[in-house]
Structure 1
Amino acid sequence: MPRLFHIPGIVFLLCAFVLLFLVSISLPFLTALDFARVNFKDGSPTVGSDTNVVDQIRFGTWANCWYEASGTRACSAAHNAYTTTLYDSQHQGFVTIGPSWTRGLAVHPVATGVTFVALLLSFSTHVTFTLLASLTAFLAALIALYVFVKHEVGKLAGVSANTDTAPGFWLTFVSFILLCLAGCTVCFGRRRARTEGATTYNYSWKDRFRRRNATKV
């Protein structure tokens, strides 16, 4: 593949790998890299068995973390497919974000591994586009999680809140764009290589010998 396309493609894949690696760690280890974030403005919501009022809750790859009105941070146990239960001001009504909505978040480490393989192979076309297909489905799952959280939080009586996409969501989106660029680079590079191979004729030693004899005559 021509160097003009090869080097930028490797850079795109390397950047995507770093971003996906960071997002794979996520909560509760990197508290700033969550996917959806709920900021409570009014009311007295609580999380799970914790009776303290919370101001904010974040949803990450392996856990959720909430920030109490006192400034204390607490996180659920780190594991795949975690469950979050939010209670309203009276602690009577509640909504649950079940494991079916958080299980897909663990795909991040898989995407990171496949990106690393594509990087080692100097981006194989097959690996790159397989990763793009899987990451497209994963982005759809992230959007579905965000929409579901926003919808469920809106059901809490006496609670006013804003649900926003968080840094982890946007890092995943940027990784997707970088992988798209890497995939396009692979296509353009291979097409150019085939074109150059078709228009370039490699002379053998017999052709050179004949050309010399023709010149002498």
Structure 2
Amino acid sequence: MSRAFYLSGVAFLFVALVLSFLSSISLPYLPAIDFVRVKFSGSSFSESLTQVRWGIWGPCVYNNNDHRVCAHTGHGYAVPIETLNGQRVIVGASFTRGLAIHPVATGAIAIAFGFAASKYENGPLVASLASFFSALMLVIAFAIDIVLFANVHHEIGKLKNVRANVNAGSAFWMTLVSLVFVLLAGCTVCLGRRKDSGSNSYPMLTRTSGGFMSRFRK
């Protein structure tokens, strides 16, 4: 049973690593993976702007023909949005700069997975500690994602007579799922290690007593 717990923890770490790795790449390299997206309807923008998406390394904009233009700005970029009637809002660089913590969390998960999959004697203990550290990084990363989402929603709400929907992107939810899997991994790896340690311990040899009457036997 302890081995089953441990292997489950390794599997959880692997899934979390894949999801976190994809989130760390995101836009503009993986167009389908973004943290926040805004969908516009109507003709309030030039060139028929329909969508704006935020990734770690740059934003992407879409038009009516589903043509995508992405900027490879690196982390910490600002996104200005301007309507035809002169309204203008800016999602500042301070809200996208923090997204760079996602690769850090991915690296921590990779370390945890490496120790969990290795034959190092103290690997399970290190993997469990690294898993909980990864969970802390993911909590911070997810909090930054929420702040970015809230800021985009706030800025878009300033535009009058503009129909827009602000939604969390796929990377937003992938980060949350990664957090859940890393927490599960930390618990199962730790539990599997404790059960395995318990199964390897040997009971103390006890000397059986013959009872009270045995004292009088010769």
TM-score norm. by structure 1 comes to 0.84
Deviates more, 1:63-72 or 1:112-121: 63-72
The one-letter amino acid paired with 2:139 is T
The one-letter amino acid paired with 2:78 is T
1:133-174: per-residue Cα shift (whole Å, max 9, x none)?
Answer: 111111111111111101110111221100011111111111
1:48-81: per-residue Cα shift (whole Å, max 9, x none)?
Answer: xxx5231011111111101023432111233010
- Structure-1 residue corresponding to 2:70: 75
Equivalent-residue separation in structure 2 for 1:137 and 1:95 (angstroms) = 26
RMSD over aligned CA atoms reads 2.0
Matched-pair contact (CA < 8 Å) for 1:43–1:158? no
Identical aligned residues as a percent: 39
Which consecutive unaligned segments of at least 5 residues does structure 1 have? 46-50, 208-217
2:96 match: secondary structure = helix
Equivalent-residue separation in structure 1 for 2:51 and 2:73 (angstroms) = 19
List aligned pairs for 1:101-140, cutoff 5 A: 101-122=95-116, 123=124, 124-140=127-143
Matched-pair contact (CA < 8 Å) for 1:42–1:158? no
2:9 match: secondary structure = helix
> Equivalent of 1:166, from 154, 163, 169?
169
Matched-pair contact (CA < 8 Å) for 1:104–1:141? yes
Matched-pair contact (CA < 8 Å) for 2:40–2:162? yes
Displacement over 6 Å in runs of 4+? none
The count of residues paired between Structure 1 and Structure 2 equals 197
List aligned pairs for 1:11-160, cutoff 5 A: 11-45=11-45, 51-90=46-85, 92-122=86-116, 123=124, 124-160=127-163
Matched-pair contact (CA < 8 Å) for 1:58–1:66? yes
The one-letter amino acid paired with 1:141 is I
Matched-pair contact (CA < 8 Å) for 2:9–2:189? yes
List aligned pairs for 1:189-204, cutoff 5 A: 189-197=192-200, 200-201=202-203
Matched-pair contact (CA < 8 Å) for 1:87–1:156? no
Matched-pair contact (CA < 8 Å) for 1:13–1:115? yes
